[in-house]
């Protein structure tokens, strides 16, 4: 949940609502782990650990009648050239997938597939995100079709801060009827799972599609906290996972916690979710929480007392995220994070989150690619100061079990270490942007040597042939 560009005079009201929601949610128990402790990674078909880095595309899809983002193929090429991204969280809309009950718009999915091809041709991996905010257009949000919105005529007032519409009577009633927490309504959840199965059947064999984000920022209506996450939300996830696995055995499935609380660093009550394809390393369920510390969710910057609060939130968020990921036996991808870059300290904040993600071994999808003060480009697609913060060296695929990786800008050194793992094929690939590595990179260290260099994609292959630990340092070629 993001409060972008709210007035200072409204911050007090927003804080009161946030605190009230926190009181409703309360703390949750950690539960018991169903898998052995240890870090898991999202992997490719060669078994390499993926370090996914990219943008959300795009908020514009939420309001467009056709449910598609503003981009053209040239914009994808420009993004690839400017950021070297290898990942996109691509927003799609239930209202466009299933405009009438049980009827699917394959023309819409074909247009989505065209855009997926744009990304795939440039080496991206695509996560399809069935997005909702404030349920759907009938209650002044986005996501669900009108036929699946049972608000029973209750009102939803316009709000200066869009998140406040979540607690309007009509929105709460629509969610309650969707989740089945009110008796007598239709089984909308089965429609939702079937819609996902239809999408997955369309993209199961698409090499660019990494997987599916089942629901953006789930909200429980009148049921909140662990009662919601361990109850209706987990039930929907299990139903949808089972439906997808009948048509797509191999793609990754991403699950999110309830945004209220988890986005702010509070615990999640999301329980273990079994994957029909198997447990442990066979499972392909990933955890994709969002990160919006409360001071920033209220429109503040990263400075003064707010900076201290944000730092405590980041520490708590990481602790709770890793705890939930262990319980799920899942790798982590930060599905959204970001900040209005005109606010004080914003670029330091983004840098800090990226460093934390590196330390966690988590992928990231910045919100978003829509031109403006939150993006790496503004109006007219001119670069903003955020672009060089996001465009930095990092590994893309690691041929083994990663130990650590980090970019040291003062020393111009990218350090990567890993343990070779049986069955993993291919080279380790690292991205080296031109502003730091104009002529490519030199590999030093133990267990690996420099391989092929692609100056167009700025990708250096690092080859390791042994079975011992690998630790390399990559510096600019002179």
Q: How confident is the model at residue 298 (pLDDT cuts 50, 70, 90)?
A: confident
Residue 271: cis peptide before it, omega within 30 degrees of 0: no
* pLDDT, position 31: 29
Q: Which two tokens stand for residue 456?
A: 């167009």
418 contact partners, CB below 8 Å, separation of at least 6: 49, 398, 399, 400, 401, 402, 403, 428, 469, 470
Gap between the Cα atoms of 162 and 166, Å rounded: 8
Taking phi over 0 as left and psi of -120 to 50 as alpha, with beta for the rest, 234 belongs to: alpha
* pLDDT, position 8: 26
> Average pLDDT, stretch 293-321?
92
Closest C-alpha to 431, from 411, 414, 450: 414
> Average pLDDT, stretch 75-80?
97
- 356 pLDDT above the threshold of 80: yes
CB 397 within 8 A of CB 449: no
Bridging pattern class, strands 428-431 and 459-463: antiparallel
Question: Angle, nearest 10°, between helix axes 188-203 and 169-179?
Answer: 70
Q: Which two tokens stand for residue 235?
A: 């039930």
Q: What is the pTM of this model?
A: 0.93
- The tens digit of pLDDT for each residue in 416-475 reads 999 999 999 999 999 999 999 999 999 999 999 999 999 999 999 999 988 899 999 999
Question: Angle, nearest 10°, between helix axes 188-203 and 234-245?
Answer: 40
Query: End-to-end CA distance of the chain, in Å?
Result: 45
Q: Return the bridge partners of 470, or none.
A: 418
88 contact partners, CB below 8 Å, separation of at least 6: 54, 55, 56, 57, 119, 124, 125, 126, 127, 365
CA distances from 257 to 46, 230, 279, 445, 473 (A): 29, 10, 21, 40, 37
- The tens digit of pLDDT for each residue in 31-74 reads 222 223 358 999 999 999 999 999 999 999 999 999 999 999 99
Q: How confident is the model at residue 2 (pLDDT cuts 50, 70, 90)?
A: low
> Average pLDDT, stretch 96-112?
98
* pLDDT, position 19: 39
- 366 pLDDT above the threshold of 90: yes
* pLDDT, position 185: 81
217 contact partners, CB below 8 Å, separation of at least 6: 1, 132, 133, 256, 258, 259, 263, 290
Gap between the Cα atoms of 225 and 128, Å rounded: 26
Bridging pattern class, strands 252-255 and 209-213: parallel
Q: Which two tokens stand for residue 198?
A: 């239809």
- 91 pLDDT above the threshold of 60: yes
* pLDDT, position 38: 57
Element containing residue 428 per DSSP (H, E): strand 428-431
> Average pLDDT, stretch 144-167?
95
Task: Please report where in the chains the tokens 């599609």 appear, as a residue.
Answer: 209
- 240 pLDDT above the threshold of 80: yes
* pLDDT, position 188: 98
- 4 pLDDT above the threshold of 70: no
Buried b / exposed e along 74-88 (16+ C-beta atoms within 10 A)? ebbeebbebbbbbbb
Gap between the Cα atoms of 328 and 336, Å rounded: 20
Q: Which two tokens stand for residue 477?
A: 């070629």
Buried b / exposed e along 307-336 (16+ C-beta atoms within 10 A)? bebbeebbeebbebbbebbbbbbbbbbbbb
Residue 11: Cβ within 10 Å count? 16
52 contact partners, CB below 8 Å, separation of at least 6: 42, 86, 87, 125, 210, 333, 363, 364, 365
**Pairwise pLDDT comparison (215 vs 32), residue with the higher score:** 215
Taking phi over 0 as left and psi of -120 to 50 as alpha, with beta for the rest, 273 belongs to: beta
* Residue 398 CA neighbour count, 13 Å, CB half: 27
Gap between the Cα atoms of 384 and 378, Å rounded: 6
Q: Which of 180-184, 195-199, 367-371 has the lowest mean pLDDT?
A: 180-184
* pLDDT, position 440: 98
At residue 287, φ and ψ (nearest 5 deg) are -105, 125
Q: Return the bridge partners of 142, or none.
A: 133
* pLDDT, position 466: 86
């Amino acid at each position: 949940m993001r409060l972008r560009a709210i007035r200072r005079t409204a911050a007090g009201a927003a804080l009161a609502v946030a605190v009230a929601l926190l009181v409703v949610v309360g703390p949750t128990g950690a539960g018991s782990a169903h898998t052995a402790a240890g870090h898991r990674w999202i992997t490719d078909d060669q078994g390499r650990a993926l370090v996914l880095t990219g943008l959300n595309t795009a908020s514009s899809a939420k309001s467009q009648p056709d449910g598609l983002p503003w981009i053209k193929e040239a914009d994808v090429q420009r993004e690839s050239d400017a950021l070297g991204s290898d990942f996109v969280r691509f927003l799609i809309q239930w209202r466009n997938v299933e405009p009438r009950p049980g009827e699917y718009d394959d023309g819409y999915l074909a247009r989505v597939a065209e855009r997926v091809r744009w990304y795939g041709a440039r080496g991206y991996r695509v996560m399809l995100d069935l997005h909702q905010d404030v349920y759907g257009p009938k209650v002044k949000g986005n996501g669900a079709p009108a036929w699946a919105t049972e608000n029973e005529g209750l009102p939803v007032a316009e709000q200066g801060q869009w998140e406040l519409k979540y607690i309007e009577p009509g929105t709460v009633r629509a969610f309650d009827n969707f989740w089945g927490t009110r008796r007598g309504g239709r089984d909308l959840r089965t429609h939702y799972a079937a819609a996902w199965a239809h999408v997955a059947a369309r993209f199961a064999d698409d090499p660019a599609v990494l997987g599916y984000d089942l629901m953006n920022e789930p909200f429980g209506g009148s049921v909140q906290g662990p009662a919601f996450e361990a109850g209706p939300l987990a039930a929907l996830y299990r139903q949808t996972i089972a439906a997808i696995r009948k048509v797509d055995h191999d793609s990754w499935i991403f699950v999110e916690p309830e945004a209220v609380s988890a986005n702010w660093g509070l615990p999640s009550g999301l329980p273990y979710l079994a994957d029909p394809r198997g447990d442990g390393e066979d499972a392909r369920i990933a955890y994709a929480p969002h990160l919006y510390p409360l001071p920033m969710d209220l429109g503040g910057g990263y400075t003064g007392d707010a900076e201290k609060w944000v730092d405590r939130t980041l520490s708590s968020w990481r602790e709770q995220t890793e705890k939930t990921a262990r319980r799920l036996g899942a790798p982590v991808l930060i599905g959204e994070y970001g900040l209005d870059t005109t606010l004080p300290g914003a670029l330091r904040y983004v840098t800090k989150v990226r460093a934390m993600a590196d330390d966690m071994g988590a992928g990231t999808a910045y919100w978003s690619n829509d031109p403006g003060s939150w993006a790496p480009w503004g109006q007219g697609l001119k670069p903003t100061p955020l672009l060089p913060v996001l465009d930095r060296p990092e590994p893309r695929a690691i041929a083994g079990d990663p130990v650590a990786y980090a970019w040291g800008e003062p020393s111009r050194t990218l350090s990567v270490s890993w343990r070779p793992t049986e069955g993993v094929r291919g080279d380790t690939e690292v991205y080296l942007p031109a502003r730091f590595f104009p002529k490519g990179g030199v590999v030093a260290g133990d267990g690996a040597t420099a391989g092929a260099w692609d100056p167009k994609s700025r990708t250096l292959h690092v080859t390791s042939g042994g079975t011992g630990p690998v630790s390399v340092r990559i510096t600019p070629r002179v």
